[in-house]
Chains A and B, each alone.
Chain A
């Protein structure tokens, strides 16, 4: 508060209540008016004016005595108001003011140093509080601003101003007289696109002038991937488009390569050219995910030597690829009961889109027609179309007892296509019969490499019951029931099947069912085997009588759905259905902001899909680019089989989460997910300064906008005046009780009386 000073004011000392004084004053005014009106017949204007003047003066004199005026001597002081200085502590304040120049924060620190003596000079009127906002308000000093790097992930000017005003409303000691904002104006929240009617109204509600000091220079050279517009999920084998918004500052006429990659593998490259120095270009990448799951895609541009910020040249996003309907291509060497029951099953499954081709007539068959075209319903086998042109549109290809040497029916030409299809993530199931494996009239050469078994001679005709192997007991494909031991009992309940294609499992193959007594090279002959080939999966079933499990199994017994469940499991395993894993691992969230920890949710299930309570879970965080192990966490699953771990913030990039779980020493399988750690948040994605926004804020609130470092004077910063308050005791000095005031009244009244008589009035 200022030192006290003397002042005075005029007061009435009348003991009468105010309402009486008002009535008396009104009566007095009325009397003067009536007295004046009595002179309206006076023809001489000078006389009339003279009498009017005397009567009005007399009225004033009477009023003077009525109100009993006095001078009140006061001791007052001016209260100090508060001025808030807001310093932007967002990460963009770490950008250089100019290429190779000091940071914006350093320039703010210099400005605070320059302001300090001015704060001192005005301290009798204003208290200056300096806050940093990140976006929470916290006191800062020039030194702390200079020495502590700004870290906030966003710039929210409006929130900072509102927080300041809210603090002011709750404080009755000092009122806010003004705000000084030191910022680069790179707001990326409410004011990101300038002032709207709503935000302008919010600023006006502050009712204090906000003056802005812009930090940083425009014209900084930088390329930033500002935004990627893409859905959170996509359908496998359906195209998806990612729109990349690329902002260029100072790169007019420059050609820039934009690369889209998936976990280190380039998916597509596009070229853009900036037409002007401040330009935004949009690049669209349309690609087709070929697998389900979550994948991290990265968009990047080359880093130019003179760029202000290099971290914003890369941006990653996570895409969850799901399945719409499973497209199954069923190719059958001839009509058979295996084909008939499998078709019946797949056709009634609403999640399956079945495309099937059966060889209904061999070249040696004679239909006994005179005109095949008119009498037969047969169509040519469109091998070129299905095995080359549209092969990638299928999720699963099923060969059912299919193996021909005839030129019109042989797929030798397309074996390479099929093998590549599997390598790239496709799935193939080969079902046996008298045209398959060792009984085939034709041996696959290239395609055989993708199969988990190899032929081991002609078939074995003995009837047998398929036996579940140890691998089969815990594999989802052969999990036919629920509850422990259910898979084994379910398979044991299925009828015996007549005969088997003799094969031997290749190293790495997983045999789920085998023959109880037929051996191949000392090993039980496999009945059902599968493995992963490249990024795809293949499965072989060495019998043409799986329909026994669908039909013969119903002899006299209760209906079972083992056949449906087996093929359902098999197809879901082939297409990598995420739900068909006993161990699910999921990044939470899949896109991690820089500096944030990586949360991981895990759900472990037993082979029969019951919760694996108490399972020991290990989760590894691995770089998707180079396979480097970043961290490992171990946790025990809870009663519901779920667990959660957290990794410390990793560097920016694409990562894979790999999880394993065991219970009582037995493996529960593996799980995998992907996540992206962003190189920079939206805060660092753009190095521009918001000069226009800073000016708009100042204008909307009655403040002024300045630019650092040229403007460091606070002299013209608009601030609300501090109010005066009384201090000490007052002393009244009456004015009305002086003799000369009474003499004046008598003289005026006397003069008026004398003149009235002289002019002929009574």
Chain B
């Protein structure tokens, strides 16, 4: 029987202490790992849990619900091929070992979903992240992701990339070869999924409200699906049907 999660089971899960030990099968599951840095890195922990829960509910991806904080200089980074990197405000200057570790992580297959939790544009997280990424991957500058990119069809068929806000309706990517090693949103995607201590959504997505929240959730799911399946939905077997549905 497929696993299914109710709100009750989610809440039960949230009460569990963060476990670092793996159970069999955990190694191939989606674990929401979040990059731990000197800035405000942990403002979207509940959004990550929500993302894991939504993945479990909507897709066949098996997840570990609890987010795991991984310092950027830690070798444990290499146990988590998916890494969420965000900050409510400026991303502090990374130490050289953090830069080195993150570069190796990305080069050998790691994936970073960077999210401007402050919804900044040209300042705050946005400018500092661009600065630090240029140090980590000087040969792979950020570029706008075209609407034909597989991330917009990796599970849901999407036309835009909204989050809590809609600064720019697109994603940017830093690619190594044909693989987008870093996907970056200025729209605070997980902000749309973040919940407060009372269990309510913490922010009202603007300008689209609940509809925008749903699309932000779908985008986050697509991003994870891309991280785990790469360009699977670009295989020839899928294209005719996807093109037909897009018409």
Which residues of A are at the interface with B, using a C-beta cutoff of 8 A?
A: 333-341, 343-344, 347-348, 355-369, 373-379, 382, 401, 406, 433-434, 439, 441, 459-461, 463, 497-500, 544-545, 547-548, 550-552, 554-556, 559
B233 within 8 A of A: yes
Distance between Cα atoms of A433 and B61 in the complex (Å) = 13
Do A544 and B28 touch (CB < 8 A)?
A: yes
Q: At the interface, yes or no: B135 with Cβ under 8 Å from chain A?
A: no
A86 CB, min distance to chain B CBs, angstroms: 67
Q: Is the beta-carbon distance between A377 and B238 smaller than 8 angstroms?
A: yes
B131 an interface residue at 8 Å Cβ cutoff? no
List B contacts of A366 (CB < 8 A): 57-58
**Contacting residue for B227 out of A340, A356, A497, CB 8 A:** A340
Q: How many residues of B contact A (CB 8 A)?
A: 50
Q: Is the CB of A334 within 8 A of B62?
A: yes
What are 23 pairs between A and B in contact, CB < 8 Å?
A334-B62, A336-B228, A337-B81, A337-B228, A356-B235, A360-B59, A360-B225, A364-B2, A365-B59, A367-B58, A367-B59, A374-B245, A376-B156, A377-B157, A378-B155, A406-B2, A434-B24, A460-B24, A461-B22, A498-B27, A544-B28, A552-B79, A559-B108
Of chain B, the residue at the smallest CB distance from A336 is: B28
Residue picked from B177, B214, B241, most chain A C-beta under 10 Å: B241
Q: Closest A residue to B104 by CB, please name it.
A: A554
| Shortest distance from the beta carbon of A236 to any chain B beta carbon, whole Å | 22
- Name the contact of B228 in the complex, choosing from A340, A374, A379 (C-beta under 8 A): A340
Please determine whether B108 and A554 come into contact, CB atoms closer than 8 angstroms.
yes
Q: Which of B29, B60, B231 contacts A362 (CB 8 A)?
A: B60
User: Which residue on A lies nearest to B62, using beta carbons?
Assistant: A334
Instruction: Supply 5 further A-B pairs (C-beta < 8 A) apart from A377-B157, A379-B241, A499-B22.
Output: A347-B230, A362-B2, A550-B108, A551-B78, A554-B108
4 closest cross-chain pairs (CB), A and B: A434-B25, A364-B2, A499-B24, A336-B28
A143 to chain B, nearest CB (A): 77
B237 in contact with A379 (CB, 8 Å): yes
Q: Which residue of A lies closest to B58 (CB)?
A: A367
**In the assembled complex, how far is the CB of residue B192 from the closest CB belonging to chain A, in whole angstroms?**
14
Nearest chain B CB to A240's CB is how many angstroms away? Answer: 26
> With an 8 A cutoff between CB atoms, is B242 at the interface?
yes
Tell me the dominant secondary structure on chain A's binding face.
loop
B residues in contact with A378, CB < 8 Å: 155
Measured in the bound complex, the distance between the Cα atoms of B82 and A340 in whole Å is: 11
Q: How far apart are the CA atoms of A724 and B29 in the complex, in Å?
A: 109
- How close is A559's CB to chain B, nearest CB, in angstroms? 7
Measured between beta carbons, the chain B residues less than 8 angstroms from A544 are 25, 27-28
Give the Cβ gap from A493 to chain B, nearest Cβ, in Å.
15
Q: Which residues from 71 to 97 on chain B have a C-beta closer than 8 Å to any C-beta of chain A?
A: 75, 78-79, 81
Instruction: Give residues of chain B (1-60) contacting chain A, Cβ–Cβ below 8 Å.
Output: 1-4, 22-30, 57-60
CB atoms of A336 and B155 under 8 A apart = no
Q: Are A368 and B58 in contact (CB under 8 A)?
A: yes
Q: A336-B28, A461-B22 are in contact. Are A376 and B78 (CB under 8 A)?
A: no
Chain B, Cβ-Cβ closest to A378: B155
Contacts of B245 in A (CB 8 A): 373-374, 377
A364 touches B4 (CB 8 A): yes
Name which of B108, B110, B232 has the most chain A CB atoms within 10 A of its CB. Answer: B232
Q: Is B153 an interface residue (CB 8 A)?
A: yes
Residue from B2, B26, B78, B230 within 8 A of A552 (CB atoms):
B78
B138 in the interface (beta carbon within 8 A): no
- CA A338 – CA B81 in complex, angstroms? 11
Docked CA distance A406–B214 (Å): 29
Residues of chain B within 8 A (CB-CB) of A367 are 58-59, 155-156
B148 CB to nearest chain A CB (Å): 13
Question: CB of B179 within 8 A of chain A?
Answer: yes
Cβ contact within 8 Å between A555 and B78:
yes
How many Å lie between the Cα of A552 and that of B110 in the bound state? 10
Q: Please, which residues of chain B bring their CB within 8 A of the CB of A368?
A: 57-58, 214
B29 smallest CB distance to A (angstroms): 7
Quick check: is B212 within 8 A (CB to CB) of the other chain?
no
Bound CA–CA A60/B154 (angstroms)? 123
- Asked if residues B27 and A497 are in contact (CB atoms below 8 Å), the reply is yes
Residues of A within 8 A of B228 (CB): 335-337, 339-340
Known: A365-B60, A377-B153, A551-B109. A339 touches B27 (CB 8 A): no
Nearest CB of chain B from residue A519's CB, rounded to whole Å = 17
Residues of A within 8 A of B134 (CB): none
**How many whole Å from A410's CB to the nearest CB in chain B?**
13
A499:B60 contact, CB within 8 angstroms? no
Specify which chain A residues have a CB less than 8 angstroms from the CB of B104 in the assembled complex: 554, 556
Q: Are A363 and B81 in contact (CB under 8 A)?
A: no
A-side contacts of B28, CB under 8 Å = 336-339, 401, 433-434, 544-545, 547
How close is B187's CB to chain A, nearest CB, in angstroms?
A: 20
Return A95 CB to nearest CB of chain B, in Å.
60
In the bound complex, residues from chain A placing their C-beta under 8 Å from that of B58 are: 361, 365-368
Task: Give Cα A367–Cα B61 distance, bound, in whole angstroms.
Answer: 12
User: Contact: A439 with B24, CB < 8 Å?
Assistant: yes
Q: Are B154 and A377 touching (Cβ within 8 A)?
A: yes
Determine the distance from Cα of A439 to Cα of B233 in the docked complex, in whole angstroms: 28
Q: For B61, give its contact among A334, A355, A460 (CB under 8 Å).
A: A334
Contacts known (A336-B29, A337-B81, A551-B109); A375 close to B24, Cβ less than 8 A: no
Whether A554 and B78, one on each chain, are in contact in the complex, defined by CB atoms closer than 8 angstroms, is yes
B229 in the interface, Cβ–Cβ < 8 Å? yes
Minimum distance in angstroms from B135 CB to a CB of chain A: 19
